[in-house]
Every structure is written in structure tokens, then in C-alpha cells.
Amino acid sequence: MDGKEFVEQLKAENEKWLAKLDAAPMAAGQGGAATLAGLVKMALKNEIEAAEIAAEWVASTPELDAKLALARHAGDEARHYQLLAETAETLGIRLEGLDPLNPASPVLIYLRTLGTTVERIAAALVAREAMGARRNAQFLQFLGAVGQKELARLYRDVINPDEERHHQTGCQVLARLAVTPDAQEAARRAAKRLLEIGDQARTAAMVKTGAPVVPGC
């Protein structure tokens, strides 16, 4: 199949994993200050890790369109981190001592093992951004339910539109690059593993914190 056909097939396969997120419990009474602070810190970690890995890959990516997509991705995620941190401060969420890159998450550890552009784009921009958009849509609903209008506005007007653009750009780049059976299999394998690890990390975070949702990147 050609690259465009492959990407459409991959998106459909990814959707089977992403559909699991729709079952996330939106339990009442879990929107207190401690829960919100914890979720914001999770979001900050996700954003800075996404910026970190994209920036790491820019220099070692030979394909110009992929290099530019990763550079834009790194810049947008860094901006998301800054905007979230500023909004957190206005809400009285204390970030002193927060080291969002330590320890590295299982997702970041996995992404650092990927050596080819098709694997990186499939995992980080196609799969992870689709997963992040799904999580952030749920997080946005949670924010609306607990009356956090400023954070909700940030996700609705800035973060979520950016994530959708990252995903679409990733799909376009992957369609151009994944044109051989070997490249397509590598991309499929990387996306699937990313979603598996992301699902495991989400479940572990919800069990550990009792939070009803987990934000994406």
C-alpha cells in the first residue's frame, strides 16, 4: 500500500487502543485542590517531556519536513509548559521544587530508544498526539465540571488545537516516508508500543492518585 493508505490504516488501528480512554471514570467529588494540583503537575511533566524528546531528535533527523515538524513540536510544547506554569501560579498551585524531567516517564524512556524517523514520527506525533488529544478532551471536561475556567480556556483555545495540528503534520510526514513494507512495519510497531506504554502509565497514575482523568501532552 502507499503511504497515505498506510497512515489511514494505522490511525484506525490506533483508534482501537484510544477507545479504551473513553471509559475513564469521571467520579464526582474528586476535584479538590490537591487533585487539581497533582493533575497540573502531571500535565507539566507531559509537556516538557514532549518538548525534550522532540528537541533531542531535531539534529539527528535528516528529512527536512520531519526536522521542521519536530522543531515546531518542541517549541509548541515548551510554550504549553510555560503557559500552564503561569496559570498554575495564578491558581495558587506551588511549583517550587518541581523537577518534571526527573524521573523520566516510561513513555520518554521508550521514545529515546527509537532510532529512525518513521518510528519517531509514528510514535511521538501520530500515536502520542492522538492519545494526548483524547486525554486532554477528558481533562477539559473535568476542568469544566470543577469550575476551572482559566485552565479550561487554555486547553480549549491553545493546547488542544496545537496537539491536533501536531498530529495532522505527523500523519502527512509519515505518509511521505512510510512507503515500503519495512518502514510501515517499523512505524506500526512503534505506534503500538507507544500506546501500550501510555495506557499502562495512565492506569498506574489513576490508581496511585485516585484522579478521575489524566491529562496528555
Chain segment 140-170, per-residue pLDDT in tens: 999 998 999 999 999 999 999 999 999 999 9
For residues 16-26, one letter each, b for 16 or more C-beta atoms within 10 angstroms of the residue's C-beta and e for the rest, the string is ebbeebeebee
Single pTM value for the model: 0.93
The predicted pLDDT at position 29 comes to 43
pLDDT at 212 over 90: no
Cell 502520542 appears where? Answer: 128
Mean pLDDT of all residues belonging to the chain: 92
Q: Which domains does the chain have, with CATH numbers?
A: 3-13+31-208 (1.20.1260.10)
More confident residue, 216 or 14: 14
pLDDT-above-90 percentage for the chain:
82
Residues 136 and 23: their CA atoms lie apart, in Å, by: 14
